[in-house]
Amino acid sequence: MELPPSCFQSCLDFCPECGSVLPRPGPHSTVRCPRCAFTLQTADFEGKTIRSTIEFNRLDPTAGRGPDPAPHLEGPLVERRCPRCGHEGMAYRTRQMRSADEGQTVFYTCPRCRFQEKEDS
């Protein structure tokens, strides 16, 4: 059973009835919307250029390669004396290094000498 043509105009990428993304034309004579079953004839796509682009997230080349060469000094400061230079106040950050039912690991970094120590809680 063929449905009546839509009364709306849209780009051939989208269904004119419900707005869903239409599948690309294949070997069949019709293109059917997966959501509302609206159909278009494959001939409607003749002479049209269809371009699609997939953009992947760029991988950080240093990700997963051991400890950070330069510890980040972002984050809040806490009243803690640096054991190396005696500076009062260290930045901290936390990470879940072990299983979820165990405490986080807190990394403290001195903003003056960049000494870093960790504390398991």
- Is 15 assigned to a binding site? yes
Q: Quick check: 43 and 31 in contact, CB under 8 A?
A: no
- Is 36 assigned to a binding site? yes
Helix and strand totals (H; E) in the chain: 0, 6
Instruction: For residue 80, give the DSSP letter.
Output: E
Angstrom distances, CA of residue 56 to CA of 21, 52, 53, 59, 62: 20, 13, 10, 9, 17
- Is 85 assigned to a binding site? yes
Angstrom distances, CA of residue 18 to CA of 7, 9, 13, 21, 26: 12, 12, 12, 9, 21
- Is 7 assigned to a binding site? no
Binding residues for Zn(2+): 15, 18, 33, 36, 82, 85, 110, 113
Binding residues: 15, 18, 33, 36, 82, 85, 110, 113
